[in-house]
Structure 1
């Protein structure tokens, strides 16, 4: 796969399906936030009730990241993606028929479980099915398309919620529409060829690679580079994550995700409240927030300009330094224009950083543990988001909004140091090359697509 120098027809079809999957994922992820005020009025809930439902959903996301990743490493990527979409779609639909806070909380926990299981495995799938020189740009494009689901759901909510006291139910019904794309994905997406080669070598996987190679030859008019030798890997288990060098990688990734997710979510989620604390009216605060949110999709697209040209850890270091500086500017700005410009730049930087992070998450683990490793890192960030909600609330009440922004800026600098100094180099490297220092391996002779036939006796092949 890595020697293919262009995106083939198959790659482009997969891109459309993967983008559609993330579109509905992002739409459903934000559905409760959009209808929470209406549900609160309809059921006479307190702010604490709304906060409880929101917080509980993050715990579901944590579990989904890890469980989904582990199952994907055992059973394959494709079925877990479709199954996770089926889970969150079913419980999003169930949310429309909830009658109280208890059953709605349970449904939203299970929605969060499915959403994050799908996201982690989708990121893993992209990393394994696209050539090394395109991995970053494809992740950024899929994220940019996915982010369009947020304003799309917001527009739908704005249309249906005010029309009826129960109008919020239709937002959850639309959130279940992702199941349609999941059915398409089952028919269109092949199983990851890397996972297949490492677990269940098949003629279908070899035929797929052959078709991709033939399409690439037609598009370029030249022969492809020779197949590079790949190491044959022994069987593994999650216990490997407790041994070096994987222990260092999972520790660095989890620490980074804890810091950067808390800082990014802290800014996005608390911005309206922080603005009100600084003298904005509620209407002005929401108007300001919606204005700068327009930069989210362009931020992900911005990443396509450098994500495959600059080393991933270097990009994340620079992005987080910029994030920290912009937070400090935002914290102490007194002029509205400076506040607006720095806010727009903050959103651009956050989502460009998300594209780089999404690319980096699955790259640093071997195929047999890739989805689980990415799931643990992502799950650590979700738990941190849950905890940071209470920390920021306390800091806002006790220390003031400027101190909150200052602390978020310091956290961004800390994230930059962690990933920049300790992160693994991954840009333009095959996944096997990144992983080969981990395994006990012996060289595999260069061969054509039927690599397993060229290397008899090898039971587990990482890619």
Structure 2
């Protein structure tokens, strides 16, 4: 168990008491949103380029599946490796380094000449993408006060998912220009390196990470600036500080001991089930609709239509993410998703399926915002990125395995059986989170680190804590 000792008001205490989003907070939000925008764009780049690549190289469906599956293995490795490295060497360093790494890997994809080297480049891209994502989520949890971090996470996610239609639009524009034009999709994916360079100059290191590693003096100016901006925004003094436990060094083995062991098992199990449902729906819907008897045109129209709900879905989370216990919200969203998936199993009406699909994407993205906030909250600072990385990695590994399972069920039992399997996974995910998930709403990261009892979060000038 990670030991804690009482401490006088620290840098973390000072960051926690800030009741508003300051100018610095908003600047960080823009940069983090842009970094995640390119992440979302690049992670979907191959899916949009695949039809043109298949035609250009004469590939089979199996070839496309191999490259897609390989990228998820890369994400699994990147999630765990990125988390561990971020806990040792810093959040900012890994965010910038992973972004540069996946950007260069994406650029290399543009020069691929065979399935083998393209698969290698997509594996490397997956490593960088997921390493950046898990550390970025950790960074948000550590740099924003507990009363605001949920809504900040949701707003950043809402902006970042716009990278998906942006990549789709680019693909529709460049691929008709002839053989090899698809390579520009991967060139554009390297654009994240520009944002990484700006972030290198602007983004500070995590205050909590610096404090935990004896480098608090490097964050003094950042915290002081945030406090000054907050005082100017509210026109008065900040709320009094609440002294919080200060973490002492921990090793990765702590994740295998109570109370962190239970949390690791819960988040890994939930992510395996929940991510399978998410990607099972989004990645397989075009194929499943065709199997239900709809035309390819109807299937593609369905996908493009329901995708419109992604950004509103993340924004929907801002209405409740810091007001409702996150494990409760995630549980209820999964139960709603199970009911919507059951509609797909039982109904053949295209308009009804479109309506159900819109609701599915809307609620799913709201759930992603909750999970992205919850995941890093459950682990102490010195193991936060690794714990979140293992959980996230479990989800990516599950998608890799479930891709083959879904294909097998579809070929043997049909589309209805696939939807029933997804319903079962959604219900199990809801039960795991609802019954065993940690309560995190309104709790400081320090009190969560050792399973301390929750204390009510006081109301702020914005009324953000309930």
What is the TM-score of this pair, normalised by structure 1? 0.93
Q: Given the alignment, which residue of 167, 171, 196 partners 1:153? A: 167
CA contact (8 A) 2:151 2:322 kept: yes
Q: Secondary structure at the match of 2:246?
A: coil
Deviations 1:31-69 (A, max 9, x none): 001111111111111111111111001000000000000
The answer on 1:293 being equivalent to 2:311 is: no
Partner of 1:212: 226
1:408 Cα deviation after fit = 0.6
Q: Given the alignment, which residue of 186, 192, 212 partners 2:206? A: 192
CA contact (8 A) 2:247 2:381 kept: no
Q: Return 5+ residue gaps in structure 1 as ranges.
A: 439-463
CA contact (8 A) 1:231 1:436 kept: no
CA contact (8 A) 1:124 1:362 kept: yes
Q: Which deviates further from its counterpart, 429-438 or 378-387?
A: 429-438
The answer on 1:138 being equivalent to 2:149 is: no
The answer on 1:74 being equivalent to 2:105 is: no
1:331 Cα deviation after fit = 1.7
The answer on 1:23 being equivalent to 2:37 is: yes
Q: Secondary structure at the match of 2:335?
A: helix
The answer on 1:253 being equivalent to 2:236 is: no
Q: Given the alignment, which residue of 43, 65, 68 partners 2:57? A: 43
Q: d(CA) in 2 for partners of 1:166 and 1:411?
A: 40
Partner of 2:129: 115
CA contact (8 A) 1:308 1:427 kept: yes
Q: d(CA) in 1 for partners of 2:20 and 2:257?
A: 37
Partner of 2:372: 358
CA contact (8 A) 2:292 2:348 kept: no
Partner of 1:460: none
Q: d(CA) in 1 for partners of 2:396 and 2:212?
A: 30
Deviations 1:197-250 (A, max 9, x none): 000324331121111111111111221122212223321111011101100000
Q: d(CA) in 2 for partners of 1:92 and 1:284?
A: 31
Partner of 2:357: 343
Partner of 1:398: 412
The count of residues paired between Structure 1 and Structure 2 equals: 438
CA contact (8 A) 2:313 2:361 kept: yes
Partner of 1:453: none
Q: d(CA) in 2 for partners of 1:80 and 1:362?
A: 16
Alignment of structure 1 residues 355-394 onto 2, 5 Å: 355-394=369-408
Partner of 1:201: 215
The answer on 1:58 being equivalent to 2:61 is: no
Q: What is the RMSD computed on CA atoms of the aligned residues?
A: 0.9
Q: d(CA) in 2 for partners of 1:165 and 1:296?
A: 32
CA contact (8 A) 2:207 2:216 kept: no
Q: Return 5+ residue gaps in structure 2 as ranges.
A: 1-14, 453-466
Q: d(CA) in 2 for partners of 1:247 and 1:393?
A: 33
Alignment of structure 1 residues 167-316 onto 2, 5 Å: 167-316=181-330
Q: d(CA) in 2 for partners of 1:318 and 1:329?
A: 17
